[in-house]
Amino acid sequence: MNLFLLFSLVNCERGWNHRIITDNAGTISTPNFDYGRHNYPAYSRESWLIKSGSPRHHVLLQFTSYFAIEEDSSNCISDSLKIYDGTNSSSPLLGVYCGVQRPPSTISSGSNLFVVFSSDSSAEEIGFQAHFKGITMEQSNINPMVKCGEYITADEGVFYSPGYPNFYDVNLICMWRLTVNVGKAIQLTLRYLDIENSKYCSRDSLTIATVQNETVENGLETKHLRHLCGKDNNHVQIDTDSNDVLIIFTSDHVSSKSGFEIYHTTGYAQTACPSLTKLNETEGTIVTAVVDDEYDKMLHCSYLIEADPFNVVEIYVDGLISSPDCLQDNLSVFDGDTDHHRNIATVCGSRTSKVFTTTQDKALVVWHLDLPDSTKKAQFTFRQKPNPFKSDLVEIPKPTLSTTTPKQTFPDKSHVTCTECMHNVTRVDSNICHKNYIFEGQVKMPIRKSGDLWYTRVKVLDNFKTGEISIEKRDI
């Protein structure tokens, strides 16, 4: 009995087994998976972050027929498989699964899919096995008998679930990507919706998401607006703030309904650019949004350039056309990540060939137009370069001895106790890299000389960031 208790306790404390998978294709399965011959253990804590590694590739996850997870009467509380559309469990939930009905093929709207499996203390089953691979939107249609999904660039139109108004097929993944001109925002009206209903829309679902960002580093990033199933004929209107929208319809291998009809049109966006675009590449060129003459809203686009910690940012404005009045239109560069930092420059009119450099590893560039029109635009190039004021070695002032203190000589010993302590109280903040430490310090001697090395101790009186400091100066 004691032995059993001890064993349970150890298992209870088992941590999460988290994996990040960047392979283009592969297989995941529950612990001990053996094609039905073994069950997963109690207290399993497994997660997989599957990354397609490319903004063009979505993650497709397809389950084999070996699927059994303890089923309970309260929505998979005991043991469960959860699939999230993103990088972690804060991302939108696509489904929660237990029992013996295997999940539908699942696709990420962006470049990442997060899969979590957990089991409780009793009643284990054979678990699951699923194959994953990175696929493009063109490859996403997994049912060769059904044509579905397409790129749409028209400002207005209608599209339907396959076979509408007849029942849609089983085993579908259909993706529509609607892209219109910058400055416009896509509006959707769900004229008809009848999709097999399930908790969390885990079986059949319609997902509507906007494309937020496409970078080599982070892949395709999306934001869910809706994850729908069930019946709704109220002509729900969804006003996105984006000119780039993804709509994904998936169905599992049983039970169909008559699907959906979506009308799409465009309005003008509140702003023709995202409120904040983050840029962390080594260098790049940005051309701000060009709007058409009908666009009549204020334009305010912010670009945050994040350099490596030992770099600063150089910004080269080589194309600017705006009103000559900087109060109406301007391009502003700030020495930090917000507009509360020092304003390095504000330019307007027709200017070329201006170079600005930050003193920090972040720069904020803001492009503001009170009255945009199609002639106004800005172009700038950013580039990271080493911070000339920053190195691994922290410089401190050479200690000076007060005239009342006799000059010390250091015996040839590794440890020296000065007969008379030397003190040098000084502010050292101007000699310390601001990024790492913000403090006022009191440099306290004694200094110990060992070979060419001098050491000093710093007592931090008032620091704003936690951490320790050790100061070393060579070759004094």
Interface residues with Ca ion (CB under 5 A)? 70, 78-79, 119-120, 123, 196, 203-204, 251-252, 255
Task: Give the shortest CB-49-to-Ca ion separation in angstroms.
Answer: 24
The CA distances from residue 204 to 14, 227, 253, 321, 374, in Å, are 34, 10, 9, 50, 44
The C-alpha atoms of residue 330 and residue 323 are separated, in whole angstroms, by 8
Complex with Ca ion: residue 257 or 473, whichever CB lies closer = 257
Task: Give the shortest CB-206-to-Ca ion separation in angstroms.
Answer: 12
State the distance between the two ends of the chain, measured CA to CA, in whole angstroms: 70
Complex with Ca ion: residue 255 or 270, whichever CB lies closer = 255
The C-alpha atoms of residue 471 and residue 385 are separated, in whole angstroms, by 25
Task: Name the 3-class secondary structure at 420.
Answer: coil
Task: Give the shortest CB-254-to-Ca ion separation in angstroms.
Answer: 6
Cβ neighbours, 10 Å, residue 130: 25
Task: Give the shortest CB-133-to-Ca ion separation in angstroms.
Answer: 23
Please give the sequence-ordered ranges of beta strands (E in DSSP) within 91-204, or none if there are none: 93-97, 106-107, 112-118, 127-135, 150-152, 157-160, 172-179, 184-195
Task: Give the shortest CB-233-to-Ca ion separation in angstroms.
Answer: 19
Task: Give the shortest CB-264-to-Ca ion separation in angstroms.
Answer: 25
242's CB contacts (< 8 A; 6+ apart) are 185, 186, 210, 211, 212, 269
Name all contacts of 336-345 with Cβ < 8 Å and 24+ positions apart.
Answer: 336/360, 336/362, 336/363, 336/364, 337/304, 337/306, 337/362, 337/364, 338/364, 339/364, 339/366
The C-alpha atoms of residue 109 and residue 57 are separated, in whole angstroms, by 9
Q: What is the DSSP letter of 415?
A: S
Complex with Ca ion: residue 10 or 355, whichever CB lies closer = 10
439's CB contacts (< 8 A; 6+ apart) are 429, 432, 460, 461, 462, 463, 464, 465
Task: Give the shortest CB-130-to-Ca ion separation in angstroms.
Answer: 18
Complex with Ca ion: residue 230 or 336, whichever CB lies closer = 230
Complex with Ca ion: residue 255 or 285, whichever CB lies closer = 255
| Residue 394 near residue 471, CB atoms below 8 Å | yes
Q: What is the CA radius of gyration of the chain?
A: 30
Complex with Ca ion: residue 195 or 443, whichever CB lies closer = 195
Complex with Ca ion: residue 87 or 251, whichever CB lies closer = 251
Complex with Ca ion: residue 52 or 78, whichever CB lies closer = 78
Complex with Ca ion: residue 145 or 216, whichever CB lies closer = 145
Complex with Ca ion: residue 46 or 196, whichever CB lies closer = 196
Task: Give the shortest CB-122-to-Ca ion separation in angstroms.
Answer: 6
Please give the sequence-ordered ranges of beta strands (E in DSSP) within 198-328, or none if there are none: 205-215, 219-228, 230-231, 236-239, 244-251, 259-268, 276-279, 283-287, 299-306, 311-321
Task: Give the shortest CB-2-to-Ca ion separation in angstroms.
Answer: 24
Task: Give the shortest CB-94-to-Ca ion separation in angstroms.
Answer: 14
Complex with Ca ion: residue 86 or 127, whichever CB lies closer = 127
Task: Give the shortest CB-248-to-Ca ion separation in angstroms.
Answer: 15
Closest CA to 79 of 96, 94, 98: 98
Backbone region of residue 137 per phi and psi (left: phi > 0; alpha: psi in -120 to 50; beta: other values): alpha
Complex with Ca ion: residue 17 or 255, whichever CB lies closer = 255
| Residue 243 near residue 179, CB atoms below 8 Å | yes
For residue 324, whether the previous peptide bond is cis, meaning omega lies within 30 degrees of 0, is: no
Task: Give the shortest CB-177-to-Ca ion separation in angstroms.
Answer: 23
Task: Name the 3-class secondary structure at 164.
Answer: coil
